[in-house]
Structure 1
Amino acid sequence: MDILRCKTPSMVRKEIYVYLLAYNLLRSLMWSAGTTHATPPLRLSLQGTRHHLNNFIPQLLTAYSKKRLQIYSTLLKVIAHKAVPERPGRSQPRVRKRRPKAYPLMTKPRHELNKQLQTA
């Protein structure tokens, strides 16, 4: 809670913008990988793309321009290769799993309830 109090609204806004920027970067990378390698972009994993990008970043930073293009095309190939399988009918109903119990609430200390149970 203290962390939230010390952030100004403009800092929170900037942080949200950074997350949106990162999300859009990943989605555009997925789109490029899907269209380049004939894989539907909506079937690509967002977290898989993030994972692969994190693994490729050190190589991309240290490579010169021609090698960087080769690494980028390899990254797109790896992302497109890891398509999520088709899973039809995966919608789940919104319901509560736990059902209320038929027992009364504990309103007395446990030792009193145990004594009451033993005398009954």
Structure 2
Amino acid sequence: MNKQQEFVLRTLEERDIRFVRLWFTDVLGFLKSVAVAPAELEQAFDEGIGFDGSAIEGFARVYESDMIAKPDPATFQVLPWRAEAPGTARMFCDILMPDGSPSFADPRYVLKRALAKASDLGFTFYTHPEIEFFLL
């Protein structure tokens, strides 16, 4: 277990977190979520959480539907709107095939591949969120 995973597990215990939401998006950018108890997270770090990929838009056909959501501990965050004990946290996931290879339908994997190609060409990619709102 790496230090980031240890930090996540320690924080869950210290902050009395009851649920961890494992987030990923489909190919259209819609957020999907699986909630797990903290006791399940150590196994999720090692093996991931299995799910039916054919139920997610653009992920897989029915006959190749087994997929794995593997949490990325670097994306761990206690949700601020649920900060009262017992709270809720979230982590984004990488989507893998049953053999452990990345899914080509995973938007995170698509971005990682694009960043690697840009880096090979000597480019550095910088990004920043732009927060907007409207008052009506």
User: So what's the TM-score if we normalise by structure 1?
Assistant: 0.23
Larger relative strand fraction: 2
Larger radius of gyration: 1
Larger relative helix fraction: 1
User: So what's the TM-score if we normalise by structure 2?
Assistant: 0.21
